[in-house]
């Protein structure tokens, strides 16, 4: 049994701050982080909960998306991941991990702020996987700005298009392909409920994702499709050192959680597996907070 699955104190299960200084250019690579995040490469074990399913995950190269891709493959699903071309090095690792489970893996590099690419990406996923019944909208842009004066229209527009517009474009393209029993999962954030002053645009999009998902759930359940959101707190991903937080905050990232450390991506994966699986057959329009004790109220 992997050490992570043995009963132990959750406060010391993974490294805590202080972390070394490690600034990266956006979008950031997981392999360059110290410590390297645990996405479940060695520790996640599946049990066939998604046998035969076909999933598209945006932002599947690193962080939460990577952990979800690994978990889905080990639960028996074929998986397509989308990512930026600059993230190819991390994405290749994920593709190899999916294929190592004997599952079909599909790499879809491109920029989801381009509406035409969003439509093309969905079509390629459907064609390459032979269908689609799990959609995970996870890719996000987070770049801190200390004051509203520093938040340019270009910044605001890019964040909105990455986090909200792409959500709409991809979902709209995917819905006609989703059968009854399918699942849509979005990634919100504790920032939707407890916004940080330096994440004005990011927090706004995450609140929008909550509202969008709840409204979408009411529409899609009429087709037998469920839609839910996951709202993480501080998780150790490449989003943070690549401009998502100031360097000094990265050094102490997760210190104020109840655990005294940030969460690792693998600790979120089981929530996505649940929401994607038939075991969640009566779960719809919900927001699952995984915030290290901070709550989402």
Give catalytic residues, as residue numbers: 202
Concatenate the DSSP letters of all residues of 79-95 into one string.
EEEEE-GGGHHHHHHHH
231 within 8 A of 192, measured Cβ to Cβ: yes
44 within 8 A of 20, measured Cβ to Cβ: no
CA–CA dist 234, 292 (Å, integer): 7
CA–CA dist 178, 182 (Å, integer): 6
Angle at the Cα of 70 from the Cα atoms of 192 and 45, rounded to 5 degrees: 110
Residue 285: C-alpha distances to residues 154, 185, 208, 258, 282 (Å): 32, 10, 14, 27, 10
Please list the alpha-helical segments (H only) found in 175-282.
200-220, 247-251, 269-276
* Residue 255 structure tokens: 């210190």
CA–CA dist 86, 89 (Å, integer): 8
């Amino acid at each position: 049994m992997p050490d992570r699955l043995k009963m132990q104190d959750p406060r010391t299960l993974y490294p805590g701050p202080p972390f070394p200084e490690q600034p990266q250019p956006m979008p950031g690579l997981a392999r360059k982080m110290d410590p390297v995040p645990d996405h479940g490469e060695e520790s996640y074990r599946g049990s066939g909960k998604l046998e035969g399913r076909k999933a598209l995950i945006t932002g599947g190269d690193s962080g939460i998306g990577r952990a979800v891709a690994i978990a889905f493959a080990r639960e028996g699903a074929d998986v397509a991941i989308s990512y930026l071309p600059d993230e190819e090095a991390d994405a290749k690792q994920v593709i190899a991990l999916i294929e190592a489970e004997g599952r079909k893996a599909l790499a879809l590099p491109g920029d989801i702020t381009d509406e035409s690419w969003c439509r093309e990406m969905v079509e390629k996923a459907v064609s390459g996987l032979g269908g689609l019944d799990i959609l995970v909208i996870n890719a996000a842009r987070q770049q801190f700005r200390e004051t509203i004066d520093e938040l340019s229209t270009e910044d605001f527009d890019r964040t909105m298009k990455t986090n909200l517009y792409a959500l709409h474009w991809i979902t709209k393209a995917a819905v006609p392909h989703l059968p009854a029993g399918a699942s849509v999962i979005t990634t919100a954030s504790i920032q939707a409920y407890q916004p940080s002053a330096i994440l004005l645009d990011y927090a706004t999009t995450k609140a929008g994702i909550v509202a969008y998902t709840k409204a979408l759930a009411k529409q899609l359940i009429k087709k037998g499709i469920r839609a839910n959101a996951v709202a993480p707190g501080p998780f150790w991903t490449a989003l943070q050192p690549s401009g998502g937080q100031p360097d000094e905050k990265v050094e102490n990232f997760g210190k104020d959680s109840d655990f005294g450390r940030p969460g690792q991506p693998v600790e979120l994966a089981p929530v996505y597996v649940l929401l994607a699986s038939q075991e969640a057959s009566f779960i719809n329009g919900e927001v699952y907070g995984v915030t290290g004790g901070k709550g989402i109220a």
